Amino acid sequence: MKAAAAADDTRTMNTTEQHTTSTSTLTNGAGVSPEPLMQMLQGLQASGILKAGIELGVFDQIAAGRTEAGSIADGIQAPPRTTRILLDALAALGVLSAGDGYRLSPGAETFLLSGRPTYLGGAADIFTGDWAWANYGRLADVVRNGGTLMDEDAETPSLDFWATFASSSTGIAGPAAQALADVLDPWSSERDELAVLDIACGSGLYGLTIAAAHPGARLTLLDWDNVLERARPNVARFGIADRVDYIDGDVFETDLGGPYDLIIASHFLHHFSEPRCADALRRCTGALRPGGRIAINEFTSNAPDPADEPFPALFSTVMLCWTAEGAAHTVETYARLLAEAGFTEPEIHDGRGMPSRFLIAEREPS
């Protein structure tokens, strides 16, 4: 996020910032306030308010020059009274400013206008979908159950959600994919040919960004068929369809092919237990050439206190609702699992566009 946007949006209901602020406020000695706890309890409201603004196209209306509640109401075909209430709520969250008409915050202008490549509105389908409303209200039951209560969860083959995710995640994945390509460039640019496998590829942007920058690269995208269909338009947009192959199937069961020089595992391993992650990494070892690399992109913590890095701890509750045994595993855990699967100690790089890290390791000689 640009510095200007970050500065302007300090009032936005950011879960991570709220958690950190709340902890310090509640432990500062005398004069403890209930307000931080009330903000947490109102978090569902904040999600619903932002989701409604995205679904109704409020931000595009303002960008088009409609700055009064009445004209915005006409644009979104809603009553002026309810529109004004929503606009004021968005202003209260810091997404808009109010005064001489409604104006977009720098963050909203950067990330919530539908025609921009940085558009994050699709993330509403990911983080505030039906599964979220259904599960967070019964999180205590999920905890008692030991994992998801959903009939169809993250591991359900050809789940419709993953096709939605592939289409909706491009605004998030784009900056991170470029960051990964930049990290790998000193290594990949030394090779005349580069065989790349992107497992559970989703939008395909990670593999596509790397392959597009390397004329000798050949990319294989692996996911369920309904997801691969959503990745194909991105392949066409990158203009490298003649250098892309597809594998329809499950990472744990399908023949991965190879040997490859690089395997990308982006936001995949957090869906599984440590033993399942170990199985996946061993399969990757078998599909890599000796000296080949694996690039893991994950929400992962490197801090002993969750308050120092709140996002991974909070994200693990998403996995609690959505998977049987998934979690945001620690850097230490990934380093151990990689070593057990025959990889070197990973290089660790900060991601871009989301609070994740890249862990890049090399397959040891056989």
**Is 138 contained in some domain?**
no
Q: Which helix H or strand E contains 62, and what residues bound it?
A: helix 58-63
Q: Which of 209, 200, 190 is nearest to 230 (CA)?
A: 200
Q: What is the separation, in whole angstroms, between the first and last Cα of the chain? A: 42
| Residue keyed to tokens 């890249």 | 358
165 and 96 assigned to the same domain: no
Are 335 and 215 found together in one domain? yes
For residue 151, being part of any structural domain is answered with: no
Of residues 250, 203, 258, 246, the one with CA closest to residue 227? 203
pLDDT tens over the chain, length 366 residues:
333 333 344 333 344 444 444 444 445 555 788 888 888 888 888 999 999 999 999 999 999 999 999 999 999 999 999 999 999 999 999 999 998 899 999 999 988 998 887 788 877 776 777 777 778 888 899 999 998 888 877 777 777 776 776 666 677 788 889 999 999 999 999 999 999 999 999 999 999 999 999 999 999 999 999 999 989 999 999 999 999 999 999 999 999 999 999 999 999 999 999 999 999 999 999 999 999 999 999 999 888 888 888 999 999 998 998 899 999 999 999 999 999 999 999 999 988 767 899 999 999 987
Nearest to 108 by CA among 118, 98, 122: 118
Q: 84 in a domain, yes or no?
A: yes
Q: At CA 217, angle to CA 213 and CA 222, rounded to 5? A: 105
Q: Around 304, how many Cα atoms within 13 Å sit in the side-chain half-sphere?
A: 0
How far apart are the C-alpha atoms of 84 and 102, rounded to whole Å?
A: 10
The CA distance from 159 to 271, in Å, is: 14
Look up the CATH number of the domain holding residue 176: 3.40.50.150
CB contact at 8 A, 356 and 16: no
Question: From the CB of residue 194, how many other CB atoms can be counted at a distance below 10 Å?
Answer: 22
Q: What is the pTM of this model?
A: 0.81
Within a domain: 124: no
Asked if residue 173 and residue 99 are part of one domain, the reply reads: no
Do 330 and 236 share a structural domain?
yes
Of 113, 137, 171, the position where a domain reaches its end is 113
Q: How many domains does the chain have?
A: 2
CB 159 within 8 Å of CB 181: no
Q: Which of 113, 145, 179 is the last residue of a domain?
A: 113
Residues 167, 316 share a domain: yes
Domain membership of residue 118 (yes or no) is no
211 lies in the same domain as 334: yes
Residues 168 and 298 in one domain: yes
Residues 6+ apart with CB under 8 A from 133: none
Q: Kindly state the DSSP code that residue 112 receives in the 8-state scheme.
A: S
Closest to 199 in 3D by CA, of 117, 301, 277? 277
Residue 255 in domain? yes
How many Å apart are CA 241 and CA 2, to the nearest integer? 33
Which residues of the chain form beta strands (DSSP E)? 96-97, 103-104, 194-199, 217-223, 244-248, 260-266, 288-298, 347-350, 357-362
Domain that residue 283 falls in: 160-362
- Regarding whether 239 and 103 lie in a shared domain, the answer is no
Could you tell me if residue 154 is inside a domain? no
Residues 250 and 339 in one domain: yes
For 269-281, letters b (16+ CB in 10 Å) and e give bbbbeeebbbbbb
Is 307 domain-assigned?
Answer: yes
| Domain final position from 98, 113, 128 | 113
